[in-house]
Amino acid sequence: MSDGPPVVALFRPDDARMRQSAALVTEHGGRPLCDPMLSVVATGQLPPLDAPMTVFTSRTGVEIAAAAGWTPAGTDVVAIGPATAAVAVDAGWARPPVPGRYDSEGLAELIIEQDPTRVVIARSDHGSAVLPAALAAAAVPYEEVVLYRLERPGDAGASVTAAAEGAVDALAFTSSLTVEHFHEIAAEADLTAAIKARRSQLTVGAIGAPTAETLGAHGLEADCIPAEATADALIEAIFQTFDAS
């Protein structure tokens, strides 16, 4: 690790989420390297109001729906985690239930337990296949509504260069798509070999098992995965790994 404050690369969208993660890194005595690997583009689609249950898999989805004037009249909302539920409350909705595990598996278990006659999954164009597969296996009728697309920002890549030059101490991957975009940029810049050569100097964090699996597919194993699949817990896990090294 570098002699100064540890540098942690963050890949969240350039909004309040990035600012929150950067503040937490600073609070731990680190230096955030903010390199958004995702930009959010609304599609204009909204969930229908006639479904017994509408599931939001991110706070972004709630923000987009609320900004468009959508309200959950006649449908029960379920949120993937407390951050998403908090945004729903801020929008004036009733606080939605959240699963015990803040991931697709936990969300599927909660939905199946409630045995809805129909479910609308409101999410991005890069949603995990885990939730639809689990609902299909349980014979729960569902449909997906793509509220927004996740695209790679044109100016992303500062963290890739820093990793190749040994100027960053940790990579905090908060989704499989951030992993994909990081590696796309590395390949385009011909920096993949340089990053792998410095692997021993890097602490690589994954927000959950699906993100860790994507890292593994690219030959980059996760050093830490938090028990709770949240960005805050990921940063905590990274600094715990620093302390243990």
Alpha-carbon span 239 to 245, nearest angstrom: 10
Residues of the chain predicted below pLDDT 50: none
> Which of 240, 172, 236, 242 lies closest to 27, judged by CA?
236
Residues of 17-31 as b/e, b for ≥16 C-beta within 10 angstroms?
A: bbeebbebbeebebe
Decide: 122 and 151 in contact? Cβ < 8 Å: no
> Residue with structure tokens 């689609």?
45
Q: How do strand 39-42 and strand 142-151 relate by DSSP bridges? A: antiparallel
- 145 DSSP β-pair partners: 122
Give the per-residue pLDDT at 2: 62
- Output the pTM of the full model: 0.85
Two structure tokens written together for 241: 């790994």
Domains of the chain by range and CATH?
Answer: 7-38+154-244 (3.40.50.10090), 40-151 (3.40.50.10090)
d(CA 147, CA 120): 12
Q: What's the order of all strands across the beta sheet hosting 142-151? A: 39-42, 142-151, 119-124, 53-56, 76-79
Strands 119-124 and 142-151: parallel
- Return d(Cα 62, Cα 65) in angstroms, integer: 5
User: 84-93 b/e with 16+ CB inside 10 Å = b?
Assistant: bbebbeeeeb
Residues 6+ apart with CB under 8 A from 172: 8, 9, 10, 11, 21, 205, 231, 234, 235, 238
Sheet holding 31-34, edge to edge: 31-34, 7-10, 170-173, 203-206
Residue 1: per-residue pLDDT: 61
User: 139: phi > 0 → left, psi -120 to 50 → alpha, else beta; which?
Assistant: left
Neighbour-count burial of 50, counting CB atoms closer than 10 A to its CB (0-12 exposed, 13-18 middle, 19+ buried): exposed
Q: CA 155 → CA 64, 131, 173, 185, distances in Å?
A: 24, 32, 18, 10
